Amino acid sequence: MEPQINAITICAQDVQALKRFYSQILEWRILAQNEKVIIFRLNNTVLTICAADVYAEYSGMKPADSTEKHFYLTVNLESPKRVDQTLQKLAALSVDIIRMPKKAFWGGYSGFFADPEGNRWEVCYNPVPNTVI
């Protein structure tokens, strides 16, 4: 199997709230949508926001009752300055900033924010291109 990720699906409690967040706050372009599923194109990957009932029926997995998240997604940017600018812009838009950017233990620079349902996103500068730490 090729080492790649082509799609990420988030099980949403409120699809419309996440649609507004990703399309209006982050300004990501919607690729396709209906009332229970929103799909965004992220370069070579798609992000799907899916209503809990559709998620359960399609995947066969019942969404966890806990709101605690055990994953985060990363967006790599070209410089620490862009990381700062991005998180400052999101903070000005009242986005929940989990951690403002700082130097990471592995040599990069990153900060974190959360969408309205607590899904965590890292905004990161990786000084070693094409390497994930």
Please give the average per-residue pLDDT across 62-84, as a whole number.
Answer: 82
**pLDDT for res 127:** 87
- Please give the single-letter amino acid code of residue 9: T
Quote the CA–CA distance of 126 and 2 in Å, as a whole number. Answer: 23
> Which tens digit of pLDDT belongs to each residue from 3-62?
777 889 999 989 999 999 999 999 999 999 999 999 999 988 899 999 989 888 877 787
Q: Which domains does the chain have, with CATH numbers?
A: 7-59 (3.10.180.10), 72-125 (3.10.180.10)
**pLDDT for res 1:** 57
Identify the residue whose tokens are 């990471």: 104
Q: Is the pTM of this model over 0.85?
A: no
- Number of CB atoms found within 10 A of residue 130's CB: 6
Please give the average per-residue pLDDT across 51-76, as a whole number.
Answer: 79
Please give the average per-residue pLDDT across 104-130, as a whole number.
Answer: 88
Is residue 66 packed enough to be buried (19+ CB in 10 Å), middle (13-18) or exposed (0-12)? exposed
Is the confidence at residue 132, as pLDDT, over 60? no
**pLDDT for res 65:** 63
Name residue 43's beta-bridge partners.
Answer: none
Cβ contact 88:47 at 8 Å: no
